[in-house]
Amino acid sequence: MIEKIKEHIAEVEAFKAKTKKEVENFRIKYLGKRGVLNDFFAEFKNVAKDQKKEYGQSINSLKKAAEAKVNSLKETLESEEGIKGVYGDLYRPGEPIDLGSRHPISIVKNKITEIFSRIGFNVSEGPEIEDDWHNFSALNLPKHHPARDMQDTFFIQTDPDILLRTHTSSVQVRYMENNKPPIRTISPGRVYRNEAISARSHCFFHQVEGLYVDKAVSFADLKQTLQYFTTEMFGKSKIRLRPSYFPFTEPSAEVDVYWGLETETDYKMTKGTGWLEIMGCGMVDPNVLDNCGIDSSEYSGFAFGMGIDRIALLLYQIPDIRMLSENDIRFLKQFRGSM
């Protein structure tokens, strides 16, 4: 009889269940009113006196093993149900991953950076919250200079000398203060101006400005650099430079690229002329070089700046600049696969 109990103990220890119903059937088999244990207890009176102690201990071992097995299996199954409730069916095929896409601003910025990196320009960055010196005064725009009105500025109310930068030229000032010529750098970044928001303008937008400072840098170097850029960026090699005014460059010019008049869209973009303005440029004013600790009698340089948003509108025929900042997933999905 004792050997039979030991066989049941081994059976209990080896038992496994996948459902609560199987556990319940097991519990009834051993611990129920008509279960195996009750049968063994009923046989206790027929056991020889010298075996009663060992027989009783064996029954208790079987009872403890059955109770422990039932509790263990219940905990395991309840735990699995909890995981399934949180994570769903773990055997179900996974949901397809919806890949994102680069923003058109990032695509254009990366392309501009890559083009200039081929001719030795590195990338420099600076703070978007700037001080008056780096944003205005060092760039030949002292206080009360009328040209400051060209850029409606967001000032920080707690300090009139702290503002949101109106151009990334402030990055160039910081770069010249901390680096000696030869300098060849571009400064991409977001800028802010207090302008009315419309289909063609926004209170924040993105720029890339370039700077080259070395000995004997000429306007011809500037033109050749811009010729290279427009050919690589747009596939258009015909450009023109129109005289203009910027406080930090002299002489200064606006750069137009010949876009052509092949489609109705070309007529609308160029107002029927075929020419499209893409950036401003000029030779760095000697005062700016001196303000940044560079000897203007020994060095000269050129600078240029363009709006990334404007170029993105041109390349992708986007009708409204506000679409670039609305984060409409339907709009952004169009650029999937672009680098």
CATH class of 104-335: alpha beta
Poorest-confidence range of 56-70, 128-142, 192-206, 310-324? 56-70
Q: In what order do the strands lie in the sheet with 300-307?
A: 122-123, 183-192, 204-214, 300-307, 275-284, 249-258, 239-246
**Between 8 and 180, residue with greater pLDDT:** 180
DSSP state of 148: G
- 306, 302, 253: which is closest to 279 by C-alpha? 306
Q: What digits encode the pLDDT tens for the residues 90-145?
A: 677 777 777 778 899 999 999 999 999 999 999 999 999 999 999 999 998 877 77
Q: What digits encode the pLDDT tens for the residues 25-55?
A: 888 887 887 777 777 777 767 777 777 777 7
Q: What digits encode the pLDDT tens for the residues 180-231?
A: 999 999 999 999 988 888 887 888 999 999 999 999 999 999 999 999 999 9
- 179, 206, 178: which is closest to 191 by C-alpha? 206
Task: Please report the sign of the dihedral spanned by the C-alpha atoms of residue 196, residue 199, residue 205, residue 211.
Answer: negative
Residue 275 dihedral angles phi and psi, to the nearest 5°: -100, 140
Question: Rounded distance, CA 1 to CA 3, Å?
Answer: 5
Poorest-confidence range of 57-61, 221-225, 299-303, 305-309? 57-61
Q: Is the pLDDT of residue 82 over 80?
A: no
- Long-range contacts from 9-13, C-beta under 8 angstroms, 24+ separation: 9/58, 9/61, 9/62, 9/65, 12/62, 12/65, 12/66, 12/69, 13/65, 13/69
Quote the strand ranges of the chain, DSSP E: 122-123, 129-131, 162-164, 183-192, 204-214, 239-246, 249-258, 275-284, 300-307
Average pLDDT over residues 73-93: 70
Question: Rounded distance, CA 132 to CA 127, Å?
Answer: 13
pLDDT of residue 260: 86
How many helices, marked H, and strands, marked E, lie in the chain? 12, 9
Q: Are 31 and 66 in contact (CB under 8 A)?
A: yes
Question: Rounded distance, CA 202 to CA 196, Å?
Answer: 7
Give 167: exposed, middle or buried? Use CB within 10 Å, 0-12, 13-18, 19+: buried
pTM: 0.69
Q: Is the pLDDT of residue 86 over 60?
A: no
Q: What digits encode the pLDDT tens for the residues 253-301?
A: 999 999 888 888 778 778 889 898 999 999 999 999 999 999 999 999 9
Predicted confidence band of residue 147 (pLDDT cuts 50, 70, 90): low
**Between 63 and 190, residue with greater pLDDT:** 190
pLDDT of residue 291: 94
Question: Rounded distance, CA 155 to CA 193, Å?
Answer: 10
Chain centroid to Cα 216, Å, comes to 41
Task: Please report the sign of the dihedral spanned by the C-alpha atoms of residue 202, residue 203, residue 206, residue 212.
Answer: positive
Domain edges within the chain: 2-87, 104-335
Q: Is the pLDDT of residue 320 over 90?
A: no
